[in-house]
């Protein structure tokens, strides 16, 4: 994303964890809504006559998922898994663990794995390997954001919201130290 604007409504005092810095909008709430409507239509068309099992990766995907499923107008089921990746707050170590698993079997199902962001790709690779062992009929990946500059392992991305430059981003489900998930846009720190 190239053009960005400062969020005039963002009050740094309300988010002390942000340490007084300003916030720049990288992807506005309107742009998110429009793109997610398109993704929902694509998925509805591709899976017409099927009943995909949407598997969302917690926590970061929860806001995206809520909007995405409402943009899908065919039958689907929704399940969740949670992962933790060992590392510091802003980079992934690649050691991934499923801390909470889906609750229904996926054998024979058409899986759409929903993520907030594919950064290094290590989390997605791990999940694709893991879920494949459970013999689904198919697995596709849907991610809101992709940061190709940080790729360490190439994973297939079937549905992508936006490609972004190498910024650490927050909002719309994505966190900084577990906070800022509630921002209605994707933002980044003003440097």
Pairwise CA distance, residues 116 & 14, whole Å: 24
Tell how strand 77-85 and strand 96-100 pair up. Answer: antiparallel
Give me 122's structure tokens.
Answer: 């290590």
Residues binding ligand IMP (CB under 6 A) = 60, 85, 92, 115-124, 168-170, 174-175
Give the list of residues 6+ apart from residue 5 with CB closer than 8 angstroms, or none: 24, 25
When asked if residue 187 is in the footprint of Mg ion (CB under 5 A), the reply is no
Active-site option among 119, 165, 166, 175: 119
End-to-end CA gap in the chain: 16
When asked if residue 161 is in the footprint of Mg ion (CB under 5 A), the reply is no
Using CB atoms, what's the residue nearest to Mg ion? Answer: 60
Asked if 158 is an active-site residue, the reply is: no
Binding mask 111-140 for Mg ion (x = CB under 5 A): -----x------------------------
Pairwise CA distance, residues 90 & 103, whole Å: 29
What does 169 bind: Mg ion, ligand IMP, none (CB cut-off 5 to 8 Å by kind)? ligand IMP
* Contact residue for Mg ion among 60, 161, 173, 187 (CB under 5 A): 60
Catalytic residues: 119
């Amino acid at each position: 994303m190239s053009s960005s604007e400062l969020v005039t409504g963002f009050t740094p005092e309300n988010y002390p964890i942000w340490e007084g810095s300003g916030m720049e909008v990288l992807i506005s709430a309107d742009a998110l809504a429009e793109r997610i409507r398109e993704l929902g239509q694509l998925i509805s068309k591709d899976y017409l006559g099927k009943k995909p099992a949407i598997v969302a990766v917690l926590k970061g995907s929860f806001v995206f998922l809520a909007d995405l499923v409402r943009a899908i107008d065919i039958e689907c089921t929704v399940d969740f898994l949670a992962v933790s990746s060992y590392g510091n707050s802003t980079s992934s170590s690649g050691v991934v663990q499923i801390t909470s698993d889906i609750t229904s079997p996926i054998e024979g199902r058409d899986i759409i794995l929903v993520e907030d962001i594919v950064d290094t790709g290590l989390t997605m690779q791990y999940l694709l390997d893991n879920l494949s062992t459970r013999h689904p009929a198919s697995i596709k990946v849907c991610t809101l954001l992709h940061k190709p500059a940080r790729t360490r392992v190439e994973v297939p991305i079937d549905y992508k919201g936006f490609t972004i430059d190498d910024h650490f981003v927050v909002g719309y489900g994505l966190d900084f130290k577990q906070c800022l998930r509630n921002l209605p846009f994707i933002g980044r720190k003003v440097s």
